[in-house]
Amino acid sequence: MNLHRPHYDSLGSQISFELRLKIISGDIPAGEKLSENQISQQFGTSRSPVREALKTLANEGLIRLERMGAIVVGLNVKEIEELYEVRNLIESFALKKLVNLDTNHLVKNLEITLDKMSIAHNYGNDEEFAYLDYEFHESIILNIHHNRIKYLWDSIKHIILVVLLITTEKRFRKKEDMTVMITKHQEIVQIIQSGDKEQVEAALNEHYEDTYRSIQSLL
């Protein structure tokens, strides 16, 4: 899978993204040793950005740094489910906060994102669809301007994005009807507009139950 959309803050973040994708997809299997020299040659860079990338991946639990090098730990389905449970808690909190805020601008942006998701689906562009899906949920989380929630989100968002890219690609390949997912996202927008906390929680629980089932069947 070749992905070009992310905006990288540094060469180290670009390297970490590429390695993260290969580790979670299984292209780099658990137990494999990562060589700083080989990675630096692959990206045509010095070892400093590679060390930055490996430190990031170690903090995410995807690799283990040892004296003799970095060993891939990987990510199993249970760990991915746990990450999505954390995401559910974060987004549930955000949606409940939104009930007491002015959401007109957010709703407008979410509706634009859904329109773009429909276009991506019609064109069979799984990467664009996945990025838009990610942006939809991140917009909700960031819109409450809560520093601690943002900190928690930042700690898991890179893995969430990669899992989303991998599973969305597989769903497109299986010719799944992604309009169902778009409809469920539209329901979330409608609930934000309604300001009903109970509906928010019920809709999110249903949305994440569907997500868990997809993860179990696709990874």
Give per-residue pLDDT as tens, 118-168. Answer: 999 999 999 999 999 999 999 999 999 999 999 999 999 999 999 999 999
1 pLDDT tier (thresholds 50, 70, 90): very low
- Which whole number is the average pLDDT over 37-53? 95
**Predicted local confidence at residue 4, as pLDDT:** 44
Residues 6+ apart with CB under 8 A from 106: 98, 139, 140, 143, 192
124 and 171 within one domain: yes
Residue 218: predicted pLDDT? 57
pLDDT at 108 over 80: yes
Q: Are 118 and 128 in contact (CB under 8 A)?
A: no
The percentage of the chain sitting over the pLDDT mark of 90, rounded to a whole number, equals 72
Task: Flag whether the pTM goes above 0.85.
Answer: yes
Residue 103: how many other CB atoms lie within 10 Å: 19
- pLDDT above 70 (res 216): no
Domain count across the chain? 2
Residues 24-28, mean pLDDT to the nearest whole number: 95
Tell me the CA end-to-end span of the chain in Å, nearest whole number. Answer: 15
200 and 130 inside one domain: yes
Torsion of CA 134, 53, 170, 163, to 10 degrees: -50
What percent of the chain lies above the pLDDT cut of 70? 92
Q: Is residue 53 part of a domain?
A: yes
Residues 102, 207, single domain; the answer is yes
Among 25, 56, 72, where does a domain finish? Answer: 72
88 and 126 share one domain: yes
152 plus 112 within the same structural domain: yes
Is the same domain home to 170 and 140? yes
Q: What is the predicted pLDDT for the residue at 126?
A: 96
**Of 112, 104, 108, 98, whose CA–CA distance to 143 is shortest?**
98
- Band of residue 196 on the pLDDT scale cut at 50, 70, 90: confident
